[in-house]
Structure 1
């Protein structure tokens, strides 16, 4: 029995491409987990969705110009973020409305470009990822992007926390709120670029939101949230890769499905815990009233 369980876990990683897929997915998931906690606290869930869709025209234009696709994706993501901020500050529209218009327009523009340009790139790989087909060069690119993003988040973690929780207080204590705003946007764009190899531009928002919101359901302390989010991401990635092998399913969507399952469990656990606390308080109040 134990040998069968061990073989079930071990068998997928006897193949080199599965090992490469696991390493890549773990790198991306850990960085996404860290960033997701700040995005949830800041309320930037839609911003991640907007940038992830907006990178498509940048990818196509980079292919036309013979540039690395990551550069095109990064430029397009930053353009989307900056244009959203400009329109918000110079119009009466709300931020979510502006983001909906900008990212849908850029995504549609990217689809038109993709159809018109002769390319050997597969649209499904861009939209839904190609984790099992990650090359050595793509893995090195993902590694460097993930390391840079992780280092920036680690060294600026306290400033980011204050900015996301109370930007007015951050400004009072002398922190450049504008710098943190654009730095967080740059980190978001970089993380999306690295996550495109795993789940594509469609599902990348799940990696950026699911770990943070799952941790938020289980803890009210931010430091604990970070550890829970990282643990959820590692667990979902490991079991998602293994299940995708045995079920012969797409690896990226399977990882996202695992994270969705973790969120549902966390939601139920949080509701059960709140129910127990409410019953305990009611019992305590009843005992005090009759004593």
Structure 2
């Protein structure tokens, strides 16, 4: 029994587990709205688009997270503006914008001399997070979870039927761009841990798994949070024994849980005459 608790004796593992617990609830709650609204690719686009903001913030000597938030917000708002003012579909706009922003970030990065590790930005560095990372992730994730917890009915109405939401007096523009701002903030909270690329899994998989397992939104949100916490803690713990990076291991756990949820859903459908 004592050997099973070995990972918890190391400070770097304690920090890795703690940051997962901090970011998982907010990311999972947000993922339910992204899945219902069909914005899964928006999380992908925004997570890639923060790279030029991170590099430019490093060059300017300002906090990297501030640059990431501004870049992600510009990408999200720009995508929404182009989609609303052109005939191009949203998925096409997102593909163009995020690939352009990501390419810009790579080009800028290759032109400067820096001690900034690109792989840490892209894939995270969960085993290297410190007190500042924990505070940043905790404050941002806490604020996001609080906003979504208080205003979930408004965001849900906007996700299902924006026209009906406008008719009952909701401010659609505020909800639309507010959700985009929350998305950017959540990605910033995950930047130091799971990184840019692997944050996409946390923004999609928990909501998708919960969508397969339940039909009520409150239950869906609860299942998504539980799935994100389970995958985060178990993936980090398993990575210690596998001598693997925690973030990719968490993604593999999420993928396995999705396949299990898909199988359970299929069995339920076959059981119904």
TM-score (norm 2): 0.98
Asked if 1:194 is matched to 2:194, the reply is: no
In structure 1, stretches of 5+ residues that fail to align are 282-291
Which residue pairs with 1:255 in the alignment?
Answer: 250
Tell me, in whole angstroms, the C-alpha distance in 1 between the residues paired with 2:3 and 2:220: 33
Deviation, 1:105, is 0.4
Q: Secondary structure at the match of 2:194?
A: helix
Of 3, 20, 24, the match for 1:7: 3
Matching of residues 106-255 of structure 1 within 5 Å = 106-255=101-250
Of 77, 83, 91, the match for 1:88: 83
Tell me, in whole angstroms, the C-alpha distance in 2 between the residues paired with 1:160 and 1:89: 19
Which residue pairs with 1:40 in the alignment?
Answer: 35
Which residue pairs with 1:289 in the alignment?
Answer: none
Tell me how large the CA RMSD over aligned residues is.
0.9
Superimposed CA distance per residue, residues 119-162 of structure 1 (whole angstroms, 9 cap, x where no aligned partner): 11111100000011001111111111111111111111111111
Deviation, 1:182, is 0.7
Deviation, 1:109, is 0.4
Which residue pairs with 1:288 in the alignment?
Answer: none
Which residue pairs with 1:50 in the alignment?
Answer: 45
Deviation, 1:169, is 1.1
Deviation, 1:198, is 2.1
Deviation, 1:195, is 1.2
Tell me, in whole angstroms, the C-alpha distance in 2 between the residues paired with 1:167 and 1:186: 18
Q: Which has the larger radius of gyration?
A: 1
Tell me, in whole angstroms, the C-alpha distance in 1 between the residues paired with 2:229 and 2:49: 27
Tell me, in whole angstroms, the C-alpha distance in 1 between the residues paired with 2:218 and 2:269: 21
Which residue pairs with 2:271 in the alignment?
Answer: 276
Instruction: State the number of aligned residues.
Output: 273
Q: Secondary structure at the match of 1:198?
A: coil
Matching of residues 14-29 of structure 1 within 5 Å = 14-29=9-24
Q: Secondary structure at the match of 1:197?
A: coil
Superimposed CA distance per residue, residues 162-202 of structure 1 (whole angstroms, 9 cap, x where no aligned partner): 11111111100000000000110010000011112222111
Deviation, 1:91, is 2.0
Deviation, 1:14, is 0.5
In structure 2, stretches of 5+ residues that fail to align are none
